[in-house]
Amino acid sequence: MTTLPATSQVPAGAVLIAGLGAQLVDDLAYLVLPPLALLAPLSGLLAIVLTAGAARYVSRDRTGAGIARTGLAVGLVSAAIGLLIGGLGIIAVLLAGVTVVAGVGAAVVGRRTTQDG
């Protein structure tokens, strides 16, 4: 049994813009929202939601494995930028993991994996 090589490519420019944009909009929202103790967790949750939306948008023209790979790339870029900006605390690392999963999940859920199917 042989396996075929994966030929799907991830759009690097769109992935970088989407991941960076999700984190910068998140930081901008944190500055606009009053940084009270009750509203501070919204910043991390907003980054997750923005990353999921960005992954969904960037992967809209992909098929097959390219959908998941594009979502993974957006999630990883967003998580890495979030860790660079926010530091390496335990909560930040946990949110980064959830951000990666949200990127893949949002890109994949409800999508067909083939063009004709």
Tens digit of each residue's pLDDT (9 = 90 or more) over 70-109? 999 999 999 999 999 888 889 889 999 999 999 999 999 9
Domain annotation covers residue 99: yes
Domain annotation covers residue 115: no
Rounded Cα distance between 5 and 41, Å, is 42
Quote the pLDDT of residue 9: 80
Is the pLDDT score of 17 beyond 80?
Answer: yes
How many domains does the chain fold into?
A: 1
Q: 60 lies in which domain range?
A: 14-31+39-108
Tens digit of each residue's pLDDT (9 = 90 or more) over 24-54? 887 787 777 666 556 666 778 888 999 999 9
Domain annotation covers residue 9: no
Quote the pLDDT of residue 85: 87
Average of per-residue pLDDT across 13-28:
89
Domain annotation covers residue 1: no
